[in-house]
Copies of this chain bind each other. A is one copy, B any other.
Amino acid sequence: MAVRHYTLDFNLSTAVECASVVPGLLSIFHEQELAETIHDTNGHGYLATFVGKNGRLVILRVHSHGLVTIDLQCYEEDNVAQLDNLLNSLEKKLKVILNGNIARTKKLPPLVRGAKVDRYWPTADGRLVEYDIDKVVYEEDSPYQNIKILHSKQYGNILVLDGDVNLAESDYAYTQAITGSGKENYAGKDVLILGGGDGGILAELVKHKPKMIKSVYIDQKVIDGCKKHMRKTCGNILDSLRGDCYQILIEDCVPLLKKYVREGRTFDYVINDLTAIPISTSPEEDSTWEFLRLILDLSIRVLHPKGKYFTQGNSVNLTEALSLYEEQLGKLSCPVDFRKQVVCVPSYLEQWVFYTAWKK
């Protein structure tokens, strides 16, 4: 049983004495049969808590610098109309009491805490966002990560790995961006996909009749989930690990890349779709950045001299991480040039940077 947490805040144009605000509001709380406690705040304004018989908790603070905050916590099955009434009464009364002194009133959609289906998946740049998620359709803990596929009314199913929104069925813009925005000719080409367990890139590229695509992904359980629940993304491509022009290898890409380097094998396109937080079974790559650089270096080494390397970067707001990544691009054993592009991926709720790199 979840808790609904309402907030109702008033920014005042000028600070007010608590004594001028509180008595007028108390009558409203008393009508609700709430048990009142007034707390000593050591000079930080007025603070009272009110506890109801049905698990309701109201917190009223009149901050000395001109801010009134009200919190209302209640159980999910509580009477919503009654609570709306309470909040509206408080708002109306405060408007009368503070006549003309309210610079801003803010009543946010309630936070739903402890719900069976969690709707809050913060962005990479750390903002609080609520999704329209109504169902968990798949959940597994693999040896590598926690895997969830969540249903959203507007984005379709969303793959979430270790709490990070990876890709939704609405996100063809992601697949487009990481395959070169429709400007590449994959016909007859050799392609290597690193990551991409959702099958979106593979499903897109097989349409272009490449010579052969090797798709390397470590986690069978992601493939199992996506095969069943992300079909708007992968179509039927994950139903078989092998087709006329593709092969899906369930393994760690690092040893495979090393083998390709040893064999002198090259690809016309290398597409790095590994998750933002890297996963590796090799003990030698401890830190995220070392792992990133290792993958990058190996990828460029198996890239044909005229080939292209595509990858996703990060939130456009994480400028420091993006700079660090671009620094890595300058440190490879084989010099590369790169360009970047900012793309709106619908389910991300933030702008995302994609990179294209090639050998100088």
A residues at B contact (CB < 8 Å)? 1-3, 5, 7, 9, 11, 35, 37, 39-42, 44-45, 47, 49, 51, 53-55, 57, 59, 61, 63, 65, 67, 69, 71, 73, 104, 106, 108-109, 111, 113-114, 118-120, 122, 125-132, 153-155, 170, 173, 315-317, 344, 346, 349-351
Q: Tell me, in angstroms, the Cα distance from A351 to B103 when the chains sit together.
A: 32
Q: Tell me, in angstroms, the Cα distance from A351 to B346 when the chains sit together.
A: 8
Are the CB atoms of B113 and A65 closer together than 8 Å? no
Most buried by B among A35, A67, A113: A113
Most buried by B among A11, A125, A128, A131: A128
Q: Tell me, in angstroms, the Cα distance from A293 to B260 when the chains sit together.
A: 65
26 A-B interface contacts by CB (under 8 A):
A1-B63, A1-B67, A3-B63, A3-B67, A7-B113, A35-B40, A37-B39, A45-B55, A49-B49, A55-B63, A57-B59, A67-B114, A69-B113, A106-B113, A106-B120, A109-B127, A111-B128, A125-B154, A127-B130, A128-B129, A129-B129, A153-B316, A154-B315, A154-B317, A173-B344, A344-B344
Which of B45, B55, B113, B173 contacts A41 (CB under 8 A)? B55
- CB of A323 to closest CB in B, whole Å: 15
Give the residues in chain B near A63, CB-CB below 8 Å: 1, 3, 55, 114
Q: Tell me, in angstroms, the Cα distance from A149 to B243 when the chains sit together.
A: 53
Q: Tell me, in angstroms, the Cα distance from A316 to B7 when the chains sit together.
A: 27
**What residue in chain B is nearest A173 (Cβ atoms)?**
B344
- CB of A347 to closest CB in B, whole Å: 9
Q: Tell me, in angstroms, the Cα distance from A25 to B62 when the chains sit together.
A: 28
Give the residues in chain B near A126, CB-CB below 8 Å: 109
Are the CB atoms of B51 and A39 closer together than 8 Å? yes
Are the CB atoms of A39 and B35 closer together than 8 Å? yes
Given contacts A55-B44, A65-B1, contact A132 B125 (CB under 8 A): yes
Give the residues in chain B near A130, CB-CB below 8 Å: 127-129
Given contacts A51-B41, A132-B125, contact A317 B153 (CB under 8 A): yes
Q: Tell me, in angstroms, the Cα distance from A73 to B45 when the chains sit together.
A: 14
- CB of A4 to closest CB in B, whole Å: 11
Are the CB atoms of B3 and A69 closer together than 8 Å? yes
Q: Tell me, in angstroms, the Cα distance from A132 to B253 when the chains sit together.
A: 36
Give the residues in chain B near A47, CB-CB below 8 Å: 51, 57
Are the CB atoms of B154 and A350 closer together than 8 Å? yes
- CB of A329 to closest CB in B, whole Å: 22
Q: Tell me, in angstroms, the Cα distance from A35 to B5 when the chains sit together.
A: 24
Question: Which 10 residue pairs across A and B have the least CB separation, nearest first?
Answer: A44-B55, A67-B114, A127-B130, A344-B346, A109-B128, A154-B351, A128-B130, A42-B53, A129-B129, A39-B51
